[in-house]
Amino acid sequence: MTPKAVEDSAVQARDAGISAPVPMLDLKRQYASIKDEVAEVIERVLTTQHFIGGEELAGFERESAEFLGVRASVGCASGTDALWLALQACRVEANTSVITTPFSFFASVSSIVRCGATPVLADIDPATLNLDPAKVENALKRGRGQNMRAVMPVHLYGQCADMDCFRQLSEQYGVVIVADAAQAFGAAWKGTKAGALGKAAGFSFYPTKNLSAYGDGGCVTTNDEELADHVRRLRNHGSRERYYHEEIGWNSRLDAIQAAVLRVKLRHLDDWNQKRRIAACRYYGLFGAAGLVQPEATAVSEQTPTVLLATSPDAHHIYHQFVIRAWRRDELQRWLTAKGIGSEVYYPVPLHLQKCFAYLGYRAGDLPESERAAKEVLALPMFPELREDEQQRVVSAIAEFYNK
């Protein structure tokens, strides 16, 4: 929610006699648990006065690579830059195409355009809302001769896409897998963590992410040392030696203070992700007990007002968001706001219908599952410190809305 929406929610909650709103996300609770550790490492950076590069960045890159089980983690200025850097290093350029999902954050497609390449959009699996491998294969078949260079699956909401299928498509059609793992630091597929599941992956450390900085930040991960070296050059103006430039790069560095904060948070991440998983399990139980979901239901209706997204048994889901499909979604959201309960829509307009991408030629109806999801999805409060009584209030308010 925006700051104004949070303020409006609090005012409406007070008017309704509710003393404590349930926030969509409360970063202050997390900070209270680590503030002494954070203060120590920030003071360390301030004492050294080494703000760009240095041991804090090297330490974070080393520790994050070990955590993810990859050979290299290369810090950069944002998750958006991470995707661009990964694509550029994989030779995505003018006269090439990249297949991805329209149901994602803007950066998934804008990073492709930034490379000069053409985005090709394929629809999503309605059960998980992740990119559908069958639809991608159809696009690959149709796109023969279009110089298809890469496929970008997005590990949406913290659940990995079906990487078995995408690896098979990569081998069959000769495309590289560059994953958008912005929401998935710590997620895994069959025991292999996001970031180690393709040629490269891009992560975001935006303050709302599971592993978050105190500002913007990101990283590219890969098991290809040559690709990692290329990313290091690209993030530093295409230079490996100061004032000598091999190619046109960019200024996209992860600064030392952010790296130091991320090193602190990385030590806690497994515990925080597990607490998110526990909270998700509570939501599942509460929705079932309230009679809000029906077994095997795949579409919302007046009789089945909410549908929970599917979780693959092969995926280790870290619940960056807890998202439901909701009947009369916009009315429900207004109802929750009036009761002081945070919620958010990720995402209200699929990317193929965004004005800036009109030149790609897509029309309403072209990608129906993405369009339906945009009208139904609602993210509920989810963060490691979320209390059981707060979740009970969330689900009770939803049940009250549908029973009134």
pLDDT of 297: 81
Token code pair at residue 360: 């790609």
- DSSP class of residue 208 equals T
- pLDDT one-digit tens code per residue, 29-61: 999 999 999 999 999 999 999 999 999 999 999
pLDDT for res 144 = 64
pLDDT reported for residue 291: 94
Quote the pTM value.
0.94
- Domain spans of the chain? 3-20+268-403, 33-263
Among the residues of 239-364, which ranges form H helices? 256-289, 329-338
Q: Which fold has domain 33-263?
A: Aspartate Aminotransferase; domain 2 (3.40.640)
CB of 197 within 8 A of CB of 163? yes
Q: What is the dihedral of CA 147, 152, 153, 158, to 10 degrees?
A: 180
Q: Which class would CATH give 3-20+268-403?
A: alpha beta
Same CATH topology for 3-20+268-403 and 33-263: the answer is: no
> CB-based contacts of 197: which residues, under 8 Å, 6+ apart?
160, 163, 167, 177, 179, 189
Q: What pLDDT is stored for residue 8 in this prediction? A: 52
Coil, helix or strand for 77?
coil
What are the phi and psi torsion angles at 174 (to 5°)? 70, 35
Residues of the chain with pLDDT under 70: 1-19, 144-145
CA dist list (Å): 66 to 78, 158, 196, 222: 21, 20, 11, 12
